Each structure stands twice: as structure tokens, then as C-alpha cells.
Amino acid sequence: MEGLCLNSFTRFLLFLFVFLVFSHKWQRANASEPVLELVKGFEAKPDSSIDSFQPLLTDPNGNFSFGFLRVNGSRLSLAVTHPNLTEPLWVFDPTRSASWSHKTKLFFNGSLVISDHSSRLEWSTHTNGDRLILRNDSNLQVVKTSSFVEWESFDFPGNTLVENQNFTSAMALVSPNGLYSMRLGSDFIGLYAKVSEDSQQFYWKHSALQAKAKVKDGAGPILARINPNGYLGMYQTGNIPIDVEAFNSFQRPVNGLLILRLESDGNLRGYLWDGSHWALNYEAIRETCDLPNPCGPKLGYFKVREGVGKKKSRLGLTVGMSLLAVIAVVLMVAMVYVGFRNWSREKRVLEEDNGLSPGPYKNLGSDSFSSVEMSRR
Ligand SMILES: *[C@@H]1O[C@H](CO)[C@@H](O)[C@H](O)[C@H]1NC(C)=O
Ligand SMILES: *[C@@H]1O[C@H](CO)[C@@H](O)[C@H](O)[C@H]1NC(C)=O
Ligand SMILES: *[C@@H]1O[C@H](CO)[C@@H](O)[C@H](O)[C@H]1NC(C)=O
Ligand SMILES: *[C@@H]1O[C@H](CO)[C@@H](O)[C@H](O)[C@H]1NC(C)=O
Ligand SMILES: *[C@@H]1O[C@H](CO)[C@@H](O)[C@H](O)[C@H]1NC(C)=O
Ligand SMILES: *[C@@H]1O[C@H](CO)[C@@H](O)[C@H](O)[C@H]1NC(C)=O
């Protein structure tokens, strides 16, 4: 009897011990340090205790991280971030997100796959690589052992272009609010504002100067690339630019990384990492008044108009209600007055009769109430 008791107590202790060790291990696994590469079999889920960013992978210099970015409180995006930039350098899909819950799973099985059935999300790189790595320029790559690159985030930019990243005429930079985009034409860089679901409008155009090289018909589309010497170059063939759009650091020997972003006000800005912070290095549109919507994005403008319309109709409703109320009050006063006159006349009659009957007054009162109710309808 006693032996059994001790036995179950021991078993309980053993269970507690195993549980503690297991939960400790589990916690340790969750709070693991980001690694330099992810191989086949890797799996991760978001940690509920993290409220901003959960790193999974880092570049060799420890400058950039790839991981789960918590957005809008409970949503999850896959992102490449830099600790001193508030907005990520890259996101897997600016229009979609998963839930920050145990239902979301990220794994690498040759493809990098994220799935969340509760958000009906399944995204994959559709590759058959051996490793996932983050390069020292923030480029996320699925590579084979032979170093052959099967997929890279540089081919799918969001709103940011990084030094040496090739921006082709098939790509677009899109501002985080989805209103503005940067695209290449046959011999120019254009910034466009979204006017409706399927129409875009120019608000800034930079044509190639073609000083060092000319655009040749039939030689293929152009591409743009940030040159470490401090400019955004446009190229058609080879490495001789058809245009040089200079940044502030142009031809100044600086040792830092350059990036270019299309921001939510529609401006295209360049930043230079000077070793401690990101310094503004270029602005396509210098005058605030030249921005597509200096008083806020177009969406906001329509929202304001909608608000004015709503206000107007609300004002109309208020005026109408007040008018009805005034009419009701006037009617009530008139009825009370008439009633009072009738009553005092009757009172006089009754007084002469030596009786008292407030009846008609009461009736009038209830009549006036129903008239108020009617006027409210
Ligand atoms: C976050 O919220 C904003 C505003 O409601 C919305 O425009 C955006 O799409 C949301 N982002 C994600 C990733 O859900
Ligand atoms: C850059 O980020 C690191 C890590 O979060 C932080 O320690 C540092 O203070 C930041 N520097 C600036 C200039 O914000
Ligand atoms: C990886 O997983 C996805 C989703 O489950 C699947 O469609 C794909 O075939 C898998 N790829 C490999 C190489 O096993
Ligand atoms: C980045 O990595 C490349 C090799 O992949 C190397 O040549 C280069 O010096 C590195 N740059 C920095 C800033 O570490
Ligand atoms: C960009 O394109 C050029 C050729 O046009 C190529 O030499 C270079 O390797 C490409 N850069 C990247 C990062 O893919
Ligand atoms: C990357 O790391 C190196 C070495 O730690 C540092 O000198 C450099 O400023 C960092 N660059 C960025 C963009 O953070």
C-alpha cells in the first residue's frame, strides 16, 4: 500500500521533471539564436511572447535578419529587416499575411514554404534547393550545394532596392500603402500613382540622358541598378550606363550600403548606411508641393470628401429633426394654451357649478404627446 503510494508519487515527480525539462527545452528552441543557414527539415512557428520580430536567419555580418515580422498586432509577414530601419527591406508578399498563431508554419523542404490554413495562405518559393541563406547585402537565397541560386528575394522587390540589385523592366517597386509604383519604360524611370484598380498616372519621369551610351532599338529592355559609387544607373547592355542619376554621395569615397525606397508619400528616397545610421542621400522629388498628394494620399482625399458628404447629410438630418421638434413644441404650446383656455373657461363654468374636472386638459396632454411622437417619425 505504502509502496504503491510512493510509486505514484515518484511517478508524479518523474512526470514533473520530464515536463519541466521538456518545457525548458521547448522554450530554449523557441528563443534560439538566428543561424547562418537553414537546411531541409527546418520548421518554425511564431512565438506568442514576441511582439515585433522573431529572427530565424542572419547574414554573415549580423547586419540583416530574416524571420517573422509581427504586423497589425496579430498578423505575420515573412521579412528581411535591418535593426535600424523601421520598415522591412523585403516582405514575402505585401498584400498578404498569415496569423501570428500556432496555426502558422514555416518550413524548408527544398522550397521555403509558409502555410496558415486559418488565413487560407500558402506561399512557396517552388524550388528544390539545399539551403536557405541570407547574403551580406540582404538578399535571401535558396541555393544548391553547387552554389547555384534557385530563387532570390532580389528578384521580388517590395518597396526597396539595394545596392547592386538589378531592377528590371518586369519589376515594380510599390509603396507600402500600395498607391505608388516605380517602373522602367523603354528609356526612362517613371513614378506612377494608382488612379483606379486598372489605371496608373505618371507624376515623375526621369529620361535617360544617354551621354555615355545610347539606347539601341531591339537590344532589349533597360535595367536600373544602384552603383556603389553613389548613383542610380540605367543600363541596356553591358556596364556602361545610359544614365546616371546622382545621389549626394556621388563620387565621394564612402564606405557604406546604399538603398532606394519608394515611400508612402510617393517620393523615391535614397539612404546611406554610414556605420551608425541611415542618412538621407537622395530625393527624387525635392519640393513637397510636387509630390502627387501633398495633402495626403488620394485615398485620404476621397475619404475626406466622403466625410464632408456624410457631414452634410447629418447636418440636414439635424436641421430636419430640430424643425420637427420646434413644430411639435409650438403645437404643444398652442394645444396647452387652447386647453388652458378651455379649462379655465370650463373652470369658470364649473366654478359657477361648484365642480372640478381637469379632464379635457388631460386629454389634450396625451394628444400633444402623440403629436410629438408622430412628428418624430
Ligand atoms: C495592416 O493594417 C493596414 C490598415 O488597416 C492595412 O492597410 C494593411 O494591409 C495591414 N497589413 C497586413 C499585413 O495585414
Ligand atoms: C541600431 O540598432 C541597434 C540594434 O537595435 C541599436 O543598438 C542602435 O542603437 C541603433 N542605432 C541607431 C543610431 O539607432
Ligand atoms: C515541400 O512542401 C510543399 C508543401 O507541402 C510541397 O508542395 C512540395 O512538393 C514539397 N517539396 C519537396 C521538394 O518535397
Ligand atoms: C559580402 O560578401 C561578399 C562575398 O559573398 C564579399 O566579397 C564582400 O566583401 C562582403 N561584403 C561585406 C560588406 O561584408
Ligand atoms: C545584375 O546584372 C548584371 C548584368 O546585367 C550581372 O552581371 C550581375 O551579376 C547582376 N547582379 C545581381 C546581383 O544579380
Ligand atoms: C554591417 O556590418 C559591418 C561589420 O559589423 C559594419 O561595419 C557595417 O556598418 C554594417 N552595415 C550595415 C548596413 O549595417
Q: Ligand 1 centroid to 138 CA: how many Å?
A: 24
**The pLDDT value given to residue 214:** 82
In angstroms, the CA 167 to CA 226 distance is 9
**Which residue ranges have their beta carbon within 6 Å of ligand 4?**
61, 136
Dist. CA 188–CA 245, nearest whole Å? 11
Residue 77: CB partners within 8 Å, gap ≥ 6? 68, 69, 71, 88, 91, 92, 93, 97, 98
Q: Please report, to the nearest 10 degrees, the dihedral formed by the alpha carbons of residues 295, 296, 300, 301 taken in order.
A: 30
Please report where in the chains the cell 529587416 appears, as a residue: 81
**Contact (Cβ atoms closer than 8 angstroms) between residue 112 and residue 183:** no
List pLDDT tens digits, range 195-226: 888 888 999 999 988 888 888 888 788 999 99
Residue 129: C-alpha distances to residues 38, 40, 143 (Å): 11, 9, 5
Summarised one tens digit per residue, pLDDT across range 285-314 is 998 888 887 765 544 333 333 333 444 445
Question: Which run of H or E residues covers position 44?
Answer: strand 42-44
Q: How far apart are CA 239 and CA 259, in angstroms?
A: 20
Cβ burial of 283 (10 Å; 0-12, 13-18, 19+) is: middle
Give the bridge partners for 270, in sequence order.
260, 282
C-alpha neighbours within 13 Å on the C-beta side of residue 360: 15
Task: Provide the pLDDT for residue 338.
Answer: 57
What is residue 155's DSSP assignment? G
- The rounded distance, in Å, linking the Cα atoms of 147 and 377 is 77
Protein residues with CB under 6 Å of any ligand 2 atom: 83-84, 276-277
Strand pairing category for 112-116 and 121-124:
antiparallel
* pLDDT for res 251: 84
Residue nearest to atom 2 of ligand 1 (CA): 72
Of all protein residues, whose CA lies closest to atom 9 belonging to ligand 4?
A: 136
pLDDT for the residue 293? 79
Distance separating alpha carbons of residues 325 and 317, to the nearest angstrom: 12
Specify the ligand 4 atom closest to the Cα of 137.
1
pTM: 0.73
Give the number of whichever ligand sits closest to the CA of residue 76. 1
Q: Assess whether the C-beta atom of 61 lies below 6 angstroms from ligand 6.
A: yes
Distance from the CA of 277 to the center of ligand 2, in angstroms? Answer: 8
Per-residue model confidence as pLDDT tens digits over 153-191 = 999 999 999 999 999 999 999 999 999 999 999 999 999
Low-confidence ranges of the chain (pLDDT < 50): 1-4, 13, 16-18, 20-31, 298-313, 347-377
Rounded Cα–Cα distance for residues 125 and 93 (Å): 12
- Contact, 71 vs 97, CB < 8 A? yes
Distance 157 CA to ligand 4 centre (A): 21
At residue 331, the pLDDT reads 67
State the pLDDT at residue 243: 87
Here the contacts of 47-52 (C-beta below 8 Å, separation 24 or greater) are 48/100, 48/101, 48/102
Ligand 5: which atom is nearest the Cα of residue 164?
13
